[in-house]
Amino acid sequence: MRGLSEPKAQSTISVVHPAQLNSETQQTSGSLRMSAIAAIHGIASSLWAGIFVVEPSAKTGIHHHGEQDTVVYVLEGEACVRWGNSGEQSATVGTGDFLHVPRWLPHQELNLSKKHPFRWVVVRSTSEPIVVNLPDDFWSQPIQNPQDEKEQSL
């Protein structure tokens, strides 16, 4: 193809329909992740993308995404996202908002609605999703750098 500066550029566009979303990806309690742009669909990409859903009045476990940066677009609903040394910081996001979660940042999502789930489009900076689920009492434990956690597991 003329005009491409990358001689090895992928030569097709991939479409993943809603019925093809796949929940066989790493999960966190209280939520459902479904992959769209991922190797499981035969799509070679340097990114991972999918849908994230938290049902009414539910909350996720505390977790982080290792070396991945995460970008979120809120499709519907409203959520409170907590982070910080003891979960003391928070932001509320709603339909149409974008959210960036930096690599290694422990966080938790809470659905404040008693009637409606929230749904996000999630894009991660590597091709395989990384989900490190932390203990429920993580924020009441002495502070430990997530990078130290990675080094201890090597």
Domain boundaries defined on the chain:
18-132
Structural element, H or E, at residue 149: helix 146-153
Contact 128, 44 (CB under 8 A): no
Residue 146 has pLDDT above 70, yes or no: no
Distance CA 107, CA 66 (A): 12
Question: Other CB atoms closer than 10 Å to residue 140's CB: what's the count?
Answer: 9
Report pLDDT for 148. Answer: 52
How do residues 64-120 score in pLDDT, each as one tens digit? Answer: 999 999 999 999 999 999 999 899 999 999 999 999 999 999 999 999 999 999 999
Output the pTM of the full model.
0.80
Q: What per-residue confidence (pLDDT) applies to 31?
A: 92
- Say yes or no to pLDDT of 48 above 90: yes
- C-alpha–C-alpha distance, residues 78 and 119, integer Å: 9
pLDDT given for residue 129 in this prediction: 85
Q: Say how far apart CA 73 and CA 89 lie, in whole Å.
A: 20
**Residue 5: pLDDT band by 50, 70, 90 thresholds?**
low
Query: What size, in residues, is the chain?
Result: 154
Q: Which of 105, 102, 110 is nearest to 145 (CA)?
A: 105
- CATH of 18-132 among 1.10.3720.10, 3.90.1200.10, 2.60.120.10, 3.40.190.10: 2.60.120.10
For the record, the structure tokens of 153 come out as 């597991």
Tens digit of each residue's pLDDT (9 = 90 or more) over 123-134: 999 998 899 999
Q: What was the pLDDT predicted at 86? A: 93
pLDDT digits (tens, 9 = 90+) for 94-108: 999 999 999 999 999
Report the alpha-carbon distance of residue 21 to residue 34 in Å, rounded: 5
Q: How many CA atoms lie within 13 A of 10 on its CB side?
A: 8
Q: Pairing state of beta strands 118-124 and 63-64? A: unpaired
